[in-house]
Amino acid sequence: MVRSSLVEAFNIERKKSTSHHITDYDIFPDKNLLDQLRTKIIENLIDQEIPDDKLLNQFINDEIDKTIEGYDLSNLERSHLYNLIDNEINGYGPLTELLEDKNITEIMVNSPKEIYIEIDGQIIRDESVSFINDEHIVRTIERMIGPMGRTIDATNPMVDSRLKDGSRINAVIPPLSTKGPVITIRKFKSEMTTADDLIRIGSMTPYMATFLEAAVKGKCNIIVCGGTGSGKTTLLNILSSFVPENERIITIEDAAELQLHKEHVISLETRVTNYDNEGEVTIRDLVINALRMRPDRIIVGEVRGKEAFDMLQAMNTGHEGSLTTLHANGAKDALNRLETMVLMSGLDIPVKAIREYITSAIDLVVNIDRMSDGKRKITSICELENFEDGEIQLKEIFAFRQKGLTANREVDGEYILFNETVPKVYQKISSRGITEIDQMFHLQK
């Protein structure tokens, strides 16, 4: 019932905002005719050069006129057809307006006529757009990833890239995808750029923001963990904004998503193999190379494999204040995954030694969750307190405790600050002359 009302309200709002968002088949009841005309026009326009004496819009109009000659189309149908073709040439085809819609956070293309979007944390099927066929989807993928130097084909059927606005695109085609080409786009939220933004939407409290800012400025090594779509990269962006302006930052990512508004930033991006299976550059390669680039801070977009050991080594050898994200369901799970990744590096190191190494390298683990109502919240900020009896001991500093759900099915809960004792990281933070959290732990001087 909730989902139905959401879909209905969403579709009404889109239809009110612009006629482009009206379902394709609201204007063209004959689905086959719409796809037939689109196919003809696109095929006619591909690889054609625009004559010097014609403007682009005039050229497109002329091609549409030629194609629809003999068809009894209304002015509205013709106008809609023009918009579709304009999006093919100047945008990203059927996805153009979905990408421009700020209410949409994620786009999922499962097949030409099966497209889902995420809005307000809810995934709904969107019938306002469609592709002609699988080839149309692949052509759109190629248009999206081409500017980033990425390719997709039978020998390289999976790609992770980004769009100009920072949105991340993942695409998979056959033979890996048995259903046909699939696209997943996680849109970059340009409006979520400061701690105040997260406070405003209830993702954290002012106290938590003050503490995290002090921790970053105090050069604590921090891991941000959470599940898929929980907001890890957004939070990492905001934490990075606390880095002092006079520090040299090197970011390392598979597909550059971080948007650091800093003066001294070097962004490194991995590279996949070429047609001869050569030339691959991994996250681990970039982490090792970054150590030779005189960084004050190393920020790894997401640690997933063998690079975990090199990152810990950097944190343990003078490169304090490093930040990264990790896919995990809580702080304990994050440390277990980190331990597994170090073991993947192939080094013959006892598990006890790895845990001691992690304890000495990592200061804080920040967990962010997407709640059942779709809202994101920082649910825990933990410090690695010590290492006892072969286990890493975690101490929670902040937490969100859910009490239940409201009548509107929104998560109801409260944020808690555990300030009975002073956290271990306080010493590291205060040693750099940072006093903003003194009052928080009753340490007024």
Letter string b/e over residues 253-280, b meaning 16 or more CB atoms within 10 A of that residue's CB: bbbbbbbbebeebeebbbebeeeeeeee
Tell me the residue range of the domain where 427 lies: 195-441
| Residue 191 · residue 102 · CB < 8 Å | yes
Judge if 33 and 89 occupy the same domain: yes
Is 162 found in the same domain as 65? yes
199 in the same domain as 182: no
Question: Domain check: are 108 and 168 in the same one?
Answer: yes
What residues are paired with 404 via a beta bridge? 412
User: Which helix or strand (DSSP H or E) is residue 383 part of?
Assistant: strand 376-388
Q: Both 181 and 217 in a single domain?
A: no
Instruction: Give the contacts of 68 (CB within 8 A, at least 6 positions apart).
Output: 37, 78, 81
10-residue block means of pLDDT along the chain (445 residues)?
Answer: 39 40 61 79 70 73 81 79 81 90 91 91 85 91 88 88 86 93 86 86 94 96 92 92 93 81 87 69 90 92 88 86 94 94 85 92 96 91 90 95 90 93 93 92 67
Residues 352 and 430 in one domain: yes
Residues 204 and 144 in one domain: no
The model's pTM: 0.76
pLDDT at 27: 66
Given 186, 204, 225, which residue is the final one in a domain?
A: 186
Collapsed DSSP state (helix, strand, coil) of residue 223: strand
Do 163 and 216 belong together in one domain?
no
**How far apart are alpha carbons 242 and 56 in whole angstroms?**
45
Of 188, 230, 215, which Cα lies nearest the Cα of 400?
230
Task: Give the Cα-Cα-Cα angle 99, 181, 129 (nearest 5 degrees).
Answer: 40
Query: Is 400 found in the same domain as 363?
Result: yes
Residue 321: give its domain's CATH number: 3.40.50.300
Nearest to 396 by CA among 228, 211, 203, 233: 211
Cα end-to-end span (Å), the chain:
56
The CATH number assigned to the domain holding 107 equals: 3.30.450.90
- DSSP per-residue letters across 323-382: EEEEE-SSHHHHHHHHHHHHHHTT----HHHHHHHHHHH--EEEEEEE-TTS-EEEEEEE
Give the pLDDT of residue 106: 92
Name the domain boundary from 128, 154, 186.
186
Together in a domain, 9 and 120? yes
C-alpha distances in Å from residue 137, one per residue of 143, 182, 184, 301: 10, 8, 12, 28
Same domain, yes or no: 284 and 207: yes
pLDDT of residue 403: 92
Output the CA–CA distances (angstroms, integers) from residue 428 to 42, 246, 366, 422, 435, in the order listed.
Answer: 61, 20, 17, 12, 11
Q: Are residues 141 and 223 in the same domain?
A: no
Give how many domains the chain has, as a whole number: 2
**Among 186, 213, 245, residue at a domain's last position:** 186
The pLDDT, as a whole number, for residue 46 is 64
* Size (the chain), residues: 445
**Three-state secondary-structure class, residue 119:** strand
